[in-house]
Copies of this chain bind each other. A is one copy, B any other.
């Protein structure tokens, strides 16, 4: 990796950290892009060559989860059906929830509820990920699932977990506690997916 690339990665990281600190101190709307750029010691204009928009700061590695899920599909056993694989993939994604120790994740969870632009971006990322997973799932089970069926199955899983999680997080004021969030995620998957684990594959 060249010096250029290393420097660039460092600046990117500095931007995320500066944004995290400023968001925590002043709030999302109160923190301007100019503030963040200044804190990371780059020009305001240059910010937009690192992130296309302010929201994106909250989702610095949105690909990681998708990759984990795709891996889980690839690592399927010989006797697993589509629902089993999907279930395993979702659990693995839930476990990997600790991206970078929490501070940013806590902000993200709060802002997804409070700031429309952030919520919109989060939902779009989820939709895209869902589509990607469905594509891989259909490819893995060509005889049992067509494109539409795979999308429907994936949508049902993700939709169930997301909705359940939302209810569980709604009355959770201490979003800063990673353990509580982790527990909520696990309970959400359990409740949401119970209808499948007992039924047919």
Contacts and interface: CB of A to CB of B under 8 A. Distances in A.
Contacts of A148: 164, 167-168, 187-188, 191
B160 A164 contact: no
A158 B154 CA distance: 12
- A interface majority secondary structure: helix
Interface string A131-162: 10010000000000001110111111111111
Interface stretch (A3-11, A60-68, A92-100, A120-128): A120-128
Given A156-B159, A156-B160, A159-B158, A166 B131 contact: yes
A163 interface: yes
A121 B120 CA distance: 6
A77 interface: no
A192 interface: yes
A76 interface: no
Given A116-B124, A121-B120, A123-B124, A160 B152 contact: yes
Size class of the A contact interface (CB-based, 8 Å): 35 or more
Contacts of A195: 153, 156
A38 interface: no
A2 to B, nearest CB: 32
A119 interface: yes
Contact of A160 (B120, B123, B131, B153): B153
A154 B147 contact: no
A130 interface: yes
Given A123-B124, A154-B163, A199-B199, 7 more contacts: A119-B123, A120-B120, A131-B163, A149-B191, A152-B160, A155-B161, A158-B163
30 contacts: A116-B121, A117-B120, A119-B123, A120-B120, A120-B121, A120-B124, A123-B124, A123-B127, A130-B163, A148-B167, A148-B168, A148-B188, A149-B191, A151-B163, A151-B167, A152-B160, A152-B161, A152-B188, A152-B191, A153-B160, A153-B195, A154-B163, A155-B159, A155-B164, A155-B192, A156-B156, A156-B157, A156-B195, A158-B159, A159-B162
